[in-house]
Amino acid sequence: MELEQSLSAAVNASVLHAFETTLSMSAVETDPIEDQSGIDQIACSIGFTGQVEGNITIRINKDAACKFVSKMLMMDIQDVNEDVVDGCGELINLIAGGVKNRMTELGHSIGISLPTVIHGQYLKLSSSEANKKIQKYFNIDSFSMFVSLIFKINEQNNSGLPVDKGQNAIDRLNQLMNKSQ
């Protein structure tokens, strides 16, 4: 399977898994949704490094964010607050972590950053046309979620060393330390 196809499948599987296991909700991939400009939204993003560099971002409206985090915390939240921001950060963390783990299982070297959460009404994602994009839309309990992976593929990982699928973290660390000596 080509790397781009693997990434697309990893995004799907990670979104489905995050919602099923954390929220007991089903996420269904759907057709593109209407423009959400002017609607109170939350955008959450995590960066990727290694063989894939870029960002994965989810964008949901305020009501969806409150509903998802209410379900996570088992409490009723009606408006965006610190809990909603933290919960949305955790949601993108689950999705990005799932993508990272699935790609690592396929032998790709990928690291992720800390989440960034933005709240506003006129949020727009853009990037250089040189970057590749995977864009997906999901319906979760009548709420829409936009997922975007904007990336470029590095032919070598950051260390310049080949990645071995069976290599554990200690072996990898030793390999990197020996390279620097």
**What does the domain layout of the chain look like in residue ranges?**
3-180
Asked if residue 119 has pLDDT above 60, the reply is yes
CA–CA distance, 114 with 86 (Å, rounded to integer): 12
CA torsion, points 92, 164, 159, 11, in degrees to nearest 10? -20
* Predicted pLDDT at 158: 47
If one compares 68 and 167, the residue with the highest pLDDT of the two is 68
Asked if residue 118 has pLDDT above 60, the reply is yes
CA–CA distance, 6 with 83 (Å, rounded to integer): 33
Helix (H, G, I), strand (E, B) or coil at 128: coil
Tell me if the domain spanning 3-180 has CATH number 3.40.1550.10: yes
Q: What is the pLDDT of residues 127-153, one digit of tens each?
A: 666 689 999 999 999 999 999 999 988
